[in-house]
Structure 1
Amino acid sequence: MTDTPPPETLRIGTDIGGTFTDFVVLDADTGQITLEKRLTTPDDPSRAVVDGIDVLRAARPGLLERTEILAHGTTLVINALIERTGGTTALLTTEGFEDVLEIRREVRYDAYDLELAFPRPLVPRRLRRGVRERLHASGRELVPVDTGQVGAIVDEFAAENVESVAICLLHSYADGDHEREVARIVRERRPDLWVSLSSEVLPEVREYERTSTTVANAYVQPLLAGYLRRLRSALDERGFAGNFYVMQSTGGVIPLEVARTFPVRVVESGPAGGVMAAARIGARAGISDLLAFDMGGTTAKVAAVVNGQAALTHDYEVARTAHFRPGSGIPVCTPVLDLLEIGTGGGSIAHIDSLGLIKVGPRSAGSVPGPAAYGRGGDQPTVTDADLVLGHLDPDHFLGGEMPLRADLAAAAVAALGEPLGLDAVATAHAIREAAQESMVAAARVHLAELGVEPSRLPVVAYGGAGPVHVVGLARKLGAPRVLIPPAAGVMSALGLILAPATFETSQTYKVKTDRLDLDLMDDLFRQMEKSAAQFLPGGDAGRVTCTRWADMRYVGQGFEVSVGLPGGDDWRSLSADEVTAQFKSAYESRYSRSYDDVAVETMNLRLRATLDGDGTVRLPTPATTGRTVSEALKGHRDVHLPGGTVRCPVYDRALLEPGMTVAGPALVQERETTTVLDRDATAAIGDLGIISIDLKGA
Structure 2
Amino acid sequence: MGYRVGVDIGGTFTDFCAFDEDSGALHTLKVFSTPQTPGQEVIAGITGLAERYGVTPQQVTYFTHGTTVGVNTVIQRRGITLCLFTTRGFEDVLEVARLKMPDPYDLFSGRPEPLVTRDRVFSIDERMLFDGSVDTPLDEASVDAAIEGVRAVGGEGVVVALLHAYRNPTHEQRVAEIIKAKAPELTVTCASEVWPVIREYERTVTAVVAGYVQGRVAHYLDSLQKALASAGVPAEPMITKSNGGVMTAEIGKQECAQMLLSGTASGVIGAASVAMETGARAAMSLDIGGTSADVAIIRDGTPQYGIGEVIGEFPIYIPTVSVTSIGEGGGSIAWVDPHGVLKVGPESAGSTPGPACYDRGGERPAITDAFVVCGFLGQAALGYSAVSMRTDLSETAMATVAEKIGKSVQDTAEAVIRVATSGMYLEVSKLVSRHGIDPRELSLIAFGGAGPMMACFLARELGMREVVIPRVPGVLSAFGGLIADIKNDFIRTVYLDLETGSLEEMRAVYADLREAAIAWIRDEHGYEGAVTLLHSADMRYRGQSYEIETPLDAEWIDSGDLNAMAGAFHAAHERIYEHADADAPVQIINLRLVVVGTPPKPKFAPVETSDAAPVATASVPVFYDGATHTAAVYARGDLYAGQSFPGPAIVTQDDCTTCVLGGFTATVDPSGNLILSREG
- Please indicate the TM-score interval, normalised by the length of the shorter structure: over 0.9
Paired residues of 1:29 and 1:619 also in contact (CA < 8 A): no
| AA in 1 matched with 2:325 | E
Matches within 5 A, 1:584-663: 584-596=569-581, 600-612=585-597, 614-615=598-599, 617-625=600-608, 629-631=612-614, 633-643=615-625, 645-663=627-645
Residues of 1 paired with 2:109 and 2:625: CA distance?
41
2:519 counterpart of 1:535: yes
Provide the aligned length of Structure 1 versus Structure 2: 678
CA shift in 2, pair 1:140/1:9, >3 Å? same
Deviation at 1:356, TM superposition (A): 4.4
Matches within 5 A, 1:215-364: 215-320=208-313, 330-353=314-337, 356-364=340-348
Q: Which runs of 5+ in 2 are unaligned?
A: none
Paired residues of 2:537 and 2:549 also in contact (CA < 8 A): yes
Matches within 5 A, 1:203-602: 203-320=196-313, 330-353=314-337, 356-394=340-378, 396-514=380-498, 518-537=502-521, 538-539=524-525, 544-568=530-554, 570-574=555-559, 576-596=561-581, 600-602=585-587
Residues of 1 paired with 2:108 and 2:434: CA distance?
27
CA shift in 2, pair 1:55/1:499, >3 Å? same
Corresponding residue of 1:327: none
Residues of 1 paired with 2:183 and 2:443: CA distance?
55
Paired residues of 1:466 and 1:674 also in contact (CA < 8 A): yes
Deviation at 1:189, TM superposition (A): 2.4
CA shift in 2, pair 1:58/1:401, >3 Å? closer
Matches within 5 A, 1:66-145: 66-110=59-103, 113-145=106-138
Deviation at 1:46, TM superposition (A): 1.3
Corresponding residue of 2:677: 695
Q: Which runs of 5+ in 1 are unaligned?
A: 1-7, 321-329
1:304 partner SS: strand
CA shift in 2, pair 1:604/1:454, >3 Å? farther
Deviation at 1:370, TM superposition (A): 1.8
Bigger drift between 655-664 and 621-630 goes to 621-630
Corresponding residue of 1:147: 140
| AA in 2 matched with 1:21 | T
CA shift in 2, pair 1:54/1:541, >3 Å? closer
Bigger drift between 591-600 and 420-429 goes to 591-600
Bigger drift between 526-535 and 294-303 goes to 526-535
CA shift in 2, pair 1:414/1:518, >3 Å? same
CA shift in 2, pair 1:60/1:110, >3 Å? closer
1:191 partner SS: coil
CA shift in 2, pair 1:353/1:552, >3 Å? farther
| AA in 2 matched with 1:490 | G
Residues of 1 paired with 2:518 and 2:248: CA distance?
12
Q: 1:40 aligned to 33, 39, 43, which one?
A: 33
Paired residues of 1:293 and 1:301 also in contact (CA < 8 A): yes
Deviation at 1:146, TM superposition (A): 2.3
Q: 1:20 aligned to 13, 26, 29, which one?
A: 13
Paired residues of 1:290 and 1:306 also in contact (CA < 8 A): yes
Residues of 1 paired with 2:475 and 2:101: CA distance?
40
After superposition, the C-alpha distances for 1:366-425 in whole angstroms (9 at most, x for unaligned) are 222222222233222211110111111126512243211221121122232222333111
| AA in 1 matched with 2:604 | P
Paired residues of 1:314 and 1:333 also in contact (CA < 8 A): yes
Residues of 2 paired with 1:414 and 1:579: CA distance?
63
Paired residues of 2:126 and 2:138 also in contact (CA < 8 A): yes
| AA in 2 matched with 1:345 | G
After superposition, the C-alpha distances for 1:317-366 in whole angstroms (9 at most, x for unaligned) are 2233xxxxxxxxx2211111112111111111223356644332222222
- Indicate the RMSD between aligned Cα atoms, in angstroms: 2.3
In the superposition, the TM-score normalised over structure 1's length comes to 0.92
Residues of 2 paired with 1:517 and 1:348: CA distance?
58
CA shift in 2, pair 1:562/1:437, >3 Å? same
2:415 partner SS: helix
Deviation at 1:277, TM superposition (A): 0.8
Deviation at 1:454, TM superposition (A): 2.4
In the superposition, the TM-score normalised over structure 2's length comes to 0.94
CA shift in 2, pair 1:382/1:111, >3 Å? closer
Bigger drift between 368-377 and 430-439 goes to 368-377
| AA in 2 matched with 1:453 | I
Residues of 2 paired with 1:217 and 1:427: CA distance?
46
Residues of 1 paired with 2:572 and 2:578: CA distance?
10
1:608 partner SS: strand
Residues of 2 paired with 1:516 and 1:359: CA distance?
61
After superposition, the C-alpha distances for 1:117-169 in whole angstroms (9 at most, x for unaligned) are 21111123333211222111100122222234324533554454433221111
| AA in 2 matched with 1:181 | R
Bigger drift between 110-119 and 420-429 goes to 110-119
| AA in 2 matched with 1:672 | D
CA shift in 2, pair 1:126/1:65, >3 Å? same
2:39 partner SS: helix
Corresponding residue of 1:326: none
| AA in 1 matched with 2:553 | P
After superposition, the C-alpha distances for 1:292-329 in whole angstroms (9 at most, x for unaligned) are 11111111111111122111111122233xxxxxxxxx
Paired residues of 2:81 and 2:157 also in contact (CA < 8 A): yes
CA shift in 2, pair 1:443/1:575, >3 Å? farther
Deviation at 1:634, TM superposition (A): 2.8
Percent identical residues:
34
Paired residues of 2:611 and 2:642 also in contact (CA < 8 A): no
1:688 partner SS: coil
CA shift in 2, pair 1:375/1:187, >3 Å? same
Paired residues of 2:440 and 2:464 also in contact (CA < 8 A): yes
Deviation at 1:567, TM superposition (A): 1.0
Deviation at 1:187, TM superposition (A): 1.8
